[in-house]
C-alpha cells in the first residue's frame, strides 16, 4: 500500500462546483432525516492518491460533473484497516466511523449509515470545504469492494 501511494501521481481533478453542491449545507451528519438535502451520488468509485505520509482517497462518480472528484485525506492506519483488511467503510449505525486528515489541518471526514434506509452519508468539512453527499449503501460498499480488489484483496 505504501508503494502504491508513493507511486501515485496528481490526478488533475477539480472539486465538484458550487452549483452541483447546492443545498448540501443543510444536510447534517447527525440528522439522517436531513440527508435528502445532500446531493445523491451515483456509481461512486474510489482510488488512491497522495503518499504514504499523506494518503488520500479520490472519490469520483458518474453523477459528478465531468472531470470532477473529491480528495478525502485519510490516516494511513485507517486506510489500511478499511482497504486492506476489508472492514466495511462504516461502523455500527450508532457509532459511525469518522476520520480526520493526518496533518490535523486538513478537512474532517465523517461517514455514517442510516440503519432505517440503508443510505450512507459523507461529510467533508474544514479548511474552505463544506461538502455533504449521500449514497445508496450498495453503491458505497461496492466502491470499497472494488478498491479492495484493486489492491489485491479477496
CA distance 27 to 98: 17
At 67 the pLDDT is 77
Query: Would you give the DSSP letter of residue 82?
Result: I
Q: What is the mean pLDDT of residues 100-124?
A: 79
* Average pLDDT over the chain, rounded to an integer: 78
CA distance 154 to 152: 7
Q: Where are the beta strands (DSSP E) in 6-128?
A: 44-50, 55-61, 70-73, 98-100, 108-113, 119-126
If one compares 154 and 77, the residue with the highest pLDDT of the two is 77
Q: How confident is the model at residue 102 (pLDDT cuts 50, 70, 90)?
A: low
At 139 the pLDDT is 92
Predicted confidence (pLDDT) at residue 121 exceeds the cutoff of 70: yes
Lowest model confidence (mean pLDDT) among 4-18, 23-37, 43-57, 102-116: 4-18
Amino acid at each position: 500500500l505504501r508503494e502504491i501511494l508513493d507511486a501515485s501521481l496528481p490526478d488533475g481533478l477539480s472539486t465538484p462546483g458550487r452549483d452541483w453542491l447546492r443545498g448540501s449545507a443543510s444536510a447534517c451528519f447527525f440528522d439522517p432525516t436531513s440527508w435528502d438535502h445532500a446531493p445523491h451520488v451515483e456509481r461512486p468509485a474510489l482510488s488512491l492518491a497522495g503518499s504514504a505520509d499523506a494518503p488520500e482517497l479520490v472519490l469520483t462518480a458518474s453523477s459528478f460533473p465531468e472531470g470532477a472528484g473529491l480528495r478525502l485525506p485519510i490516516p494511513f492506519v485507517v486506510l489500511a484497516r478499511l482497504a486492506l483488511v476489508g472492514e466495511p467503510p462504516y461502523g455500527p449505525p450508532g457509532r459511525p466511523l469518522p476520520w480526520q486528515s493526518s496533518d490535523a489541518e486538513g478537512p474532517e471526514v465523517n461517514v455514517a449509515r442510516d440503519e432505517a434506509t440503508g443510505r450512507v452519508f459523507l461529510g467533508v468539512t474544514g479548511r474552505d470545504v463544506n461538502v455533504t453527499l449521500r449514497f445508496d449503501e450498495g453503491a458505497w460498499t461496492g466502491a470499497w469492494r472494488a478498491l479492495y480488489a484493486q489492491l489485491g484483496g479477496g
